[in-house]
Chains A and B, each alone.
Chain A
């Protein structure tokens, strides 16, 4: 699988990263290299391996429904973000 310039533009847009036109070529090559490297895994025969979502076999970690103190701020904490209206 190879990576195209369009793929890089799309991924950059999803990640909200501004990629200048003259850097596109370079990113396309490096990303392509990474994908090719990982692609080696495709050669493995995994027909006898069960699908898994987590590498470590730990499960059912729960906490009881108890309230603990939240962050304390002397002044009312306000998060300002750019104006976005739908």
Chain B
């Protein structure tokens, strides 16, 4: 057991999916040809004036409310000054002392334990451009399409106590943000990025140890691994009598280690000051109430409702809630067929397996809630067995047809016709005389074995209930 306690704080940058940029009318769109979504404002040309995008402000308030934060009734924008070629103005418009939201929290579940992670603040700012390094011509190429993309930065208190907790927080946060519909939260596209601050201290000490800042992690898994690496490094340095230097480190995923940043060695002096180009804002409580009224049901509330309203298991409810599309699909299906538990079993079982195999999201499948409940009803009515039902599902997804058509075309309906089943049963009886004797002498539980054999012969298509009945009657005459 380590004699140290880990202390972690996270900063998440989230691109907001507004149509236009935060301070100009250029399209806020990913993947366009370099420098096609640029204008004098986002290029920082002299004499231009930024004007705040109303939607970006509303999204900021929405995120703040979802994180149980106070919305500041007065907010303003400030200039954060630093020179870097991806920042054409030489400063980033951000919020310093009056951010859109402060003092919130997010409840997370880490293992069995529920914990509240404090949110220090959430502020609006503009994203920077992108540099493509051309080492052969010893230059970098700047693409300013991303410059001015609205960002909200969400900063936690140093409340996280392990890399695993940090990982759980990130997943809960991402799910919450996805429910809000303010961003696609796609880490691969850079819509969601995470930096981490980490330090350790002897257990029992209340003051914080020296922290290092980790950047360049491009997945939640990488955040966790980088933090684990860094915690180990801190422990080794301190145990050996050394001191941790406060610095920013880049995570190298391939080498699985952190590296010191070369270019930003000089301590930052951002010289924040109010941006004279942007007027301040007073946020009326009516505006806040309006946004609050439009907040969707958030994941934790939905989870609890699924347990109480439909009697789902925690396992099933978790799987449904973890995917907004899945949860919506579930409720649409329940409207068609009021058997919540059965539908949840199908979604968390066979449907989820199909999704994983196909690496697809539920709304990308050729499957409507109505299609699924038609299939479930076929299984419940004994038209097909549970096992064959799963096959039918695969065919439905491959061919984009309904359960009825597939069952008819492939001849998958259960055989319940006595004469057809009796042919199979007689064969099975003839081949298993010993078992038949056991049943005759009263061991009725061995009937199951013969049912299994007959089922195999029928290619899974026989109605098991019917088989059981017929076999028993055939042997005992009862």
Contacts and interface: CB of A to CB of B under 8 A. Distances in A.
Interface residues of B, number: 53
B83 to A, nearest CB: 6
Contacts of A76: 33-36
A40 interface: no
Contacts of B361: none
Given A70-B27, A86-B250, A63 B274 contact: no
Given A14-B271, A59-B282, A85-B133, A77 B54 contact: no
Interface residues of A, number: 31
A44 interface: no
Contacts of A67: 19-20, 25-28
A13 to B, nearest CB: 8
A82 B139 contact: yes
B55 A65 contact: yes
A79 B128 CA distance: 14
B84 interface: yes
B135 interface: yes
B253 to A, nearest CB: 15
A68 interface: yes
B263 A60 contact: no
Interface in A38-76: 53-54, 56, 58-68, 70-71, 73, 76
Contact of A53 (B35, B54, B76, B143): B76
Contacts of A79: 35, 141-144
Contacts of A83: 133-135, 138-140
Interface stretch (B37-45, B172-180, B204-212, B305-313): B37-45
Contacts of B81: 14
Contacts of B264: 86
Interface in B256-303: 261-264, 266, 269, 271, 274, 276, 279-282
A82 B140 contact: yes
Which label, helix, strand, loop or mixed, suits the secondary structure of the A interface? loop
B52 A61 contact: yes
A70 B21 CA distance: 11
B97 to A, nearest CB: 9
A23 interface: no
B18 interface: yes
Given A83-B134, A86-B264, A14 B85 contact: no
Contacts of B18: 65
Contacts of A16: 83
Contacts of A81: 85, 131, 139-142
Given A58-B279, A81-B131, A81-B140, A65 B38 contact: no
Given A79-B142, A82-B85, A63 B53 contact: yes
Given A63-B54, A65-B19, A77-B34, A54 B139 contact: no
Given A67-B20, A83-B135, A86-B263, A77 B279 contact: no
A1 interface: no
Interface of B: 18-20, 25-28, 33-40, 43, 51-57, 76, 81, 83-85, 131, 133-135, 138-144, 250, 261-264, 266, 269, 271, 274, 276, 279-282
